[in-house]
Each structure stands twice: as C-alpha cells, then as structure tokens.
A = this chain, B = another copy of it.
C-alpha cells in the first residue's frame, strides 16, 4: 500500500487534506507539531482526526520556537482580534511564524524518507497563501527541489512528492470538498484562543465561519 505523510494540525484545512489523502488510498502517517504555540488544543483535535481516518501512526514532534519568538503565536504579541475579513490576507499577519512551514516540511520530509513514503501532503490554500509567504505555490515548488536534492531517495531518483490538494481553494470550497469527502468537522479546532467554545472573533474563527457560510453548511462546533 502506498504511503503518505500528512501534516496535520487538527484545523479545518489540514483535516480536509488528511481525509483527501486517505480517500486517495494512501496509508497515512500523520505528523503534528507542538512548538510552543498557544493553540495546544489543536493537538487533541489532530489526534482525534488521525484516529478517525485510521492513520497507521500519528507522531507529534515537539520543539520550542518561543526560544526566539517573532510571532503572535510564539511570543507575547496579541493575537489579532475582530479584523474585518477584507483586511485578512492583505499583509503578512502577526501570526506569521518565521520559517514555520519550512520547519514543518523538513520534518515531514525526514519522516517520509524514514518510512518510505512517496507523498507528503500539506493543506496550504488560497487564504493562507495570500498572507503567508511559506504557503505559496512558488515556495512549495522550491521545497520540492530541496526534497529531490537533499534526500537519499531523491539521490536515487525517487522524489518524495509534495501534494497540495487545497492550494487554489478558498475556505468555502475547502469545506464543500471536505464535506463531500466525509470529513467530520466536529473533530477539528480552528480558534486561536483555547476556550471551551470557539471565540468567534479571532481571525481563525472568522475565516472558519466564512468557509461554512460560503459552503452553505453548518459548523458542527457551533451546533453543540
């Protein structure tokens, strides 16, 4: 059975990505990160999603990016609240973590090579890529070259393929696609704050709400 590593945060995008990889017939090796982000609750969501899709393994790599901070997610910079949606994506937001996706993909590459996986899935999408440089297709293409040149399998002519099924998609299209693929969005978590219920005012909640609204689907986290 062909194997794929899936970067899985437990949010809406990476969860959709994981279900899509599973439906493509890959044996899933899920990989999450605990890097001193505020959103530790995401990890529990990632675990639930990995179980739901029958992942072969779910690994969590821990490291501490608070050592150098530089982001609202890893230092004492306020998480942006209640921006209007048109503002989201105009500038690189304070939730940008320096080099984060490069670090994530590097670990994903290592894991994929160690397990003999042929694919590495990451849920970057149109909303992310409008704001974060390390979510754009040019960046993914550059990392593909790193994967080809910097691994033993690559040196042997078998590249680990980066797969980005959401790359052109807005949140509404992602929710529609995931819903059709049977994603259980009740398992996911998006809110940047860690309360009992989504705060419904941070950027992540606003984008999530926009996605469900655009898809014409109710968010199960708000139904309960």
Are B152 and A142 in touch, CB under 8 angstroms? no
Q: A70-B114, A115-B68 given as contacts; is B102 within 8 A of A150 (CB)?
A: yes
Q: How large is the interface on A (under 10, 10 to 19, 20 to 34, 35 or more residues)?
A: 35 or more
User: When each residue 31-75 of chain A gets 1 if its CB lies under 8 Å from chain B and 0 otherwise, what string results?
Assistant: 000000000000000000000000000010111110111100000
- How many copies of this chain sit in the oligomeric assembly? 2
Which residues of A approach B to under 8 Å, CB–CB?
Answer: 59, 61-65, 67-70, 92, 96-103, 105-107, 109-111, 113-115, 133-134, 136, 138-139, 142-143, 145-146, 148-152, 154-155
Are B61 and A61 in touch, CB under 8 angstroms? no
Are B103 and A99 in touch, CB under 8 angstroms? no
Are A114 and B133 in touch, CB under 8 angstroms? no
| Chain B residues positioned under 8 Å from A105 (CB to CB) | 106
Are A102 and B109 in touch, CB under 8 angstroms? yes
Are B155 and A133 in touch, CB under 8 angstroms? yes
| Chain B residues positioned under 8 Å from A142 (CB to CB) | 142, 145-146, 148-150
CB distance from A37 to the nearest CB of B (A): 13
CB distance from A190 to the nearest CB of B (A): 23
Are A146 and B68 in touch, CB under 8 angstroms? no
| Chain B residues positioned under 8 Å from A68 (CB to CB) | 59, 110-111, 114-115
Are B70 and A99 in touch, CB under 8 angstroms? no
CB distance from A122 to the nearest CB of B (A): 12
A97 vs B151: C-alpha distance when bound (angstroms): 9
Tell me the nearest residue of chain B to A108, going by C-beta.
B99
Interchain CB contact (< 8 A) of A62 among B63, B134, B138: B63
| Chain B residues positioned under 8 Å from A111 (CB to CB) | 68, 98
17 pairs across A/B with beta carbons < 8 Å?
A59-B67, A61-B63, A62-B62, A70-B110, A98-B109, A98-B110, A98-B111, A98-B152, A99-B151, A102-B106, A133-B151, A133-B152, A134-B149, A134-B150, A139-B146, A142-B145, A142-B148
Are A106 and B99 in touch, CB under 8 angstroms? yes
Interchain CB contact (< 8 A) of A92 among B70, B100, B152: B152
CB distance from A49 to the nearest CB of B (A): 19
Are B110 and A99 in touch, CB under 8 angstroms? yes
Are A150 and B143 in touch, CB under 8 angstroms? yes
